[in-house]
Amino acid sequence: MFDTFSEKKFLLTELVKKNLTAKYKDSVLGILWSFFNPLLTMIVFTVVFSMLFGKNVVNYPVYYLAGRVIFDFFNHGTKGAMNSIRKNARLLKKIYVPRPMFPVSAICYEFVNFLISFVILFGVMFVTGAQFHPTLIYAVIPIILIIILIFGVGLILAVCNTYFTDIGYLYNVFTLVLLYASALFYPIEIVPTKFQIIFSLNPVYCAMTCLRQCVYGVAPSFSTMLYIAAFALTTLGIGILLFNIYGKKLTLEL
Amino acid sequence: MSLMEKIRRLLGRNIVRNNTPDIDSDIAINVEHLTMEFKVSNDKIDTLKEYFIRTIKRDKGESKKVKVLDDISFTVKRGEKLGILGFNGAGKSTLLRIIAGIYEPSDGQITINGKIAPLLELSAGFDKNYSGKDNIYLNGALLSMSKEFLDEKYDEIVEYSELGDYINYPVKNYSKGMKAKLGFSIATLIDPDILIIDEILSVGDIKFRKKSGEKLNEMMADGVTVLLVSHSINQVRRICDRCIWIDSGELIMEGEVNEVCDAYVEDANYAKIKKERKMKRKLRKKYG
């Protein structure tokens, strides 16, 4: 069972589709909410924070959205993977499905959302009259790196959360801290210089910075991307190892 | 145990699966020293706090495990129909689930030679908000079928399941029988080498029951290996040619179907007589 790639791919698309329909099943607008949600919060944040930081940041809506797409992808992707095993407990206990399919499908689903919010980013760039710099092509690199990071963190969390439920609650608090530690809605300049070094160790913040640099027409710094790559690949290695060891025993913990 | 060995054990798989059957080998399933332990649920460490406290106190209760299967070994030849007998809680369903790949055994080796069709929980893969049509694809994907295959078989499934227009309605509006019918129609699509059946030989109404019975017979007649758990002794006698009897996780008897069935029935009757005698003794004591 599931030994060919096409069978796995088909299962993956079906699981992603299931996630998509399940999330918006009773709403009128359905999947359009994936569009409106980031757009509306962007408007709120722009209205509120433009007054505070508007002078320091060029084109605040774009600054905010470029950070937000990365942060949301990381936040929801890792959380989705974390809860995927527990959420599908009923299924896992009754049918044989390769265990990694669930975290992977959850992350793929969030990737679809990420692509949608990227469309909004481009739309807002267009509306606000921002220039489309050729450096935007480089944006692919931080995006790939953040995907690797999400897979790593997601796999680790999926195992941990199945063994200990309170990892989930703990992680919710952690992402809140991460939100403030990522300079999502404020410019990094307002942070005292001595604390900025801590920010530069945060891979999510680094990925955001790289993406923002691409959007604003600056080539992203090589050393930062190397740091994210090292961090992400290490995490992914740990994640895969952990999932290989504990993944097969997960059904016993549900 | 050396560290390397420990790591190898952690990463090692207890189940070897060959989905494309090895024709030279006449063995379909080989189970060696299979042991399965479950943690007792009220002893499960579920929170981090508890985990830390109990790690410090060194009382993680490693010993509080229940052995559901204890050192079971048997072989099923290709084309053989094996019945599995045992009272409730003997470990039959756990055994089937391990062979189907749902649980990873604590210890032991299993070799499976051929493609398995587990007819264990037929409607487990359904999403209740999906229509019957979408569920065919979802369920098919979960059973490792390809999209092209399902496209091709779609009409056949709808016709076989007798759902008609209901196929476009959400599954949450289905009756239990309708769900079972749809599940059965999907699960029996594949052309398996090994069929695992856990008490599902009666699905739906009398009409569909006959049809599903015929379909199973047809599948079995094709020289498919069958593992059957059933409490209906007559069914086991009719279908199987060999039997194993499991009690409290241990393999008690293995052999020709009638032999094992006779012993099993006798034991069940004897248990009944024993119970009656005990009751009588109790009553006598109570009322003089």
- Give the closest-approach CA distance of B274 to chain A in angstroms: 36
- Of the candidates A81, A73, A42, the one whose C-alpha atom is nearest the C-alpha of residue A60 is A42
Q: Under a CB-based contact definition with an 8 Å cutoff, are residues B225 and B79 in contact?
A: yes
**CA B172, B98, B259 angle in degrees (round to 5)?**
105
What's the mean per-residue pLDDT of chain A?
88
Whether A233 has a pLDDT exceeding 70, the answer reads yes
Q: Give the ranges where B189-256 is alpha helix by DSSP (H).
A: 206-221, 233-239
Q: Span A212-222, mean pLDDT?
A: 89
Backbone torsions φ then ψ of B143, nearest 5 degrees: -95, 15
- b/e map of A56-67 (b: 16 or more CB within 10 Å)? ebebbbbbbbbb
Q: Under a CB-based contact definition with an 8 Å cutoff, are residues B200 and B179 in contact?
A: no
Instruction: Select, from the ranges B23-32, B42-51, B259-268, the one with the highest average predicted confidence (pLDDT).
Output: B259-268
Determine whether the interchain pair A245/B116 forms a contact, defined as Cβ–Cβ distance below 8 Å: no
Q: Which tokens go with A131?
A: 């220039």
pLDDT value for B51: 73
By three-state DSSP, how is residue B78 classified?
coil
Q: Give the ranges where A54-202 is alpha helix by DSSP (H).
A: 60-87, 89-92, 101-127, 140-163, 166-180, 193-199
pLDDT value for A106: 93
Determine whether the interchain pair A96/B100 forms a contact, defined as Cβ–Cβ distance below 8 Å: yes
**Number of helices followed by number of strands (H, E) in chain A:** 11, 0
Q: Under a CB-based contact definition with an 8 Å cutoff, are residues A181 and A205 in contact?
A: yes
pLDDT value for B59: 63
pLDDT value for B42: 58
Q: Which tokens go with A7?
A: 């069978």
Determine whether the interchain pair B118/A96 forms a contact, defined as Cβ–Cβ distance below 8 Å: yes
Q: Span B86-107, mean pLDDT?
A: 85
DSSP secondary structure letter of residue A183: T
pLDDT value for A76: 93
Instruction: Report the Cα–Cα distance between both ends of chain B, in Å, rounded.
Output: 62
The pLDDT confidence band at residue A183, using thresholds 50, 70 and 90, is confident
Q: Under a CB-based contact definition with an 8 Å cutoff, are residues B48 and A167 in contact?
A: yes
Q: Residue B170's closest chain A neighbor by CA? A: A25
**pLDDT, tens digit (0-9, with 9 covering 90-100), for A46-91:** 888 878 777 778 888 888 888 989 999 999 999 999 999 998 888 8
Residue whose entry in the numeric block shows the structure tokens 């469309």: A119
pLDDT value for A203: 93
Q: Span B244-256, mean pLDDT?
A: 86
Residue whose entry in the numeric block shows the structure tokens 């209760």: B61
The model's pTM is 0.85
Pairwise CA distance, residues B131 & B136, whole Å: 9
CB pairs under 8 A between A and B: 88
Q: Span B136-148, mean pLDDT?
A: 88
Higher pLDDT, B170 or A234: A234
pLDDT value for B19: 66
Determine whether the interchain pair A18/B127 forms a contact, defined as Cβ–Cβ distance below 8 Å: yes
Half-sphere exposure of B125 (CA within 13 A, CB side): 27
- Of the candidates B139, B203, B216, the one whose C-alpha atom is nearest the C-alpha of residue B175 is B203
DSSP secondary structure letter of residue A221: P
**Number of helices followed by number of strands (H, E) in chain B:** 9, 10
- Give the closest-approach CA distance of B207 to chain A in angstroms: 27
pLDDT value for B177: 83
